[in-house]
A = this chain, B = another copy of it.
Amino acid sequence: VDLDALEAAARGLLTENAWGYYSSGADDELTLAENVVAWRRVRLRPRVLRDVSVIDTSTSVLGIPVRLPVLVAPSAYQRMAHDDGERATARGAAAAGTVMCAATLATVSLEDVAAAAPDAPRWMQVYVSRDRGVTAEMVRRAAAAGYSALIFTVDLPVLGNRRADERNAFALPAGRLMANFGAAHPSVEGGSALAEHVRTDLDPALTYDDIGWLREVSGLPVLVKGVLRGDDARACVDAGAAGVVVSNHGGRQLDTAVATADVLAEVVDAVAGDVEVLVDGGVRRGTDVVKALALGARAVLVGRPVLWGLAVGGDKGVAEMFEVLRDELARAMALCGVRTVGEISRDLLAR
């Protein structure tokens, strides 16, 4: 009935290797914990005696209509959670009426993800390779397969220190590939196979110019994910970004980085309405969604909760997770005295 229960159920179903990969954060996991706490710390000032007989949770993101302002955050290796992997997630997102983000490091190819829910909106997350040709080809394939935007992840020039993965010598299970490249992970002795992949294949030399490059080679609008500062957000906009995603990669990259709830307002103010601002990290309740929108986000993304739903019930589990969040959001809106997401404003927050 809520995401806590879903998490507990998922934990019982996943291998140590997969659970460790999905749940862990960097170093001492302080930002991982702070992401959740930062939303809870924000206090709501509900309004009363507004007619809330009809609550409308729908909105649009980059012009795409969605039934609720909650999207699928890109996450890798979803066939570790469920045999159908990203296919099921795409179908679940479609059923929920929201946007699927496919990951570069998916275990189902982007074309197969598209085929799983051909009419539903989808975005493609991008890690840029040292070999730019590899990335150019992938984003062109994404455009061809009907992805309508790129999510350009910029907070992973190197991999964060995820102790669980080091301890578990994290590796993809037998038969799971990086499906967008038809390739297995580099094999490593001990340590994390992903860490090795990032070290050898991903490009640590990215700059703001790569926003334009991605737009050009793909013909798609580019959202920049991993921004935690107003000035960086402004620079993204100036470089042609179609939006920014305030994110610290779910606490998995730089530990003690600011919680996203704590910097969202700064980013929103810096961007000044020129592009849409999304946010992820620690969203677990409908009230968290209200707070994110009150701070100025257009929508939020959820990552781990999608994986919990996927692990527990495949596409139906994903759809049900979104249904829970939508119910909670509608209830929170009614209790705050707002009927539409457009009525959610910063004035709902204490201090």
**Chain A residues proximal to chain B, CB less than 8 Å:** 1-2, 27-28, 30, 40, 42-53, 154-155, 157-158, 160-161, 163, 166, 203-208, 210-211, 224, 226-229, 232, 235-236, 253-259, 262-263, 285, 287, 328, 331-332, 334-336, 350
Contacts and interface: CB of A to CB of B under 8 A. Distances in A.
Contacts of A227: 48
A274 B51 CA distance: 26
Contacts of A336: 254
Contacts of A285: 27-28, 255
A236 B49 CA distance: 9
A331 B161 contact: yes
Contact of A258 (B1, B45, B157, B236): B45
Nearest to A350: B258
Contacts of A44: 254, 256-258
Contact of A256 (B1, B42, B53, B160): B42
Nearest to A206: B49
A43 B227 CA distance: 15
Count of identical protomers in the assembly:
4
A153 to B, nearest CB: 10
A189 B207 CA distance: 57
B157 A204 contact: no
B258 A49 contact: no
A130 B334 CA distance: 16
A207 B49 contact: yes
Contacts of A30: 40
Q: Which of A43, A51, A154, A160 is the most central at the interface, judged by chain B CB atoms within 10 Å of its CB?
A: A43
A46 to B, nearest CB: 5
Nearest to A208: B49
A328 to B, nearest CB: 7
5 contacts: A27-B285, A51-B206, A53-B157, A254-B335, A255-B287
B45 A228 contact: yes
A193 to B, nearest CB: 16
A196 to B, nearest CB: 14
Given A48-B154, A285-B28, A40 B256 contact: yes
B157 A334 contact: yes
B51 A207 contact: yes
Contacts of A155: 46, 48, 335
A224 B232 CA distance: 39
A205 B46 CA distance: 16
A276 to B, nearest CB: 18
A154 B334 CA distance: 11
Given A2-B27, A27-B287, 18 more contacts: A2-B161, A27-B285, A42-B256, A43-B262, A44-B258, A45-B257, A46-B257, A47-B229, A49-B208, A49-B211, A53-B157, A53-B203, A158-B334, A160-B335, A161-B328, A254-B335, A254-B336, A263-B350
Contacts of A226: 48
A285 B257 CA distance: 13
A237 to B, nearest CB: 13
Contacts of A208: 49
B205 A43 contact: no
Nearest to A258: B43
A318 to B, nearest CB: 21
A262 B206 CA distance: 34
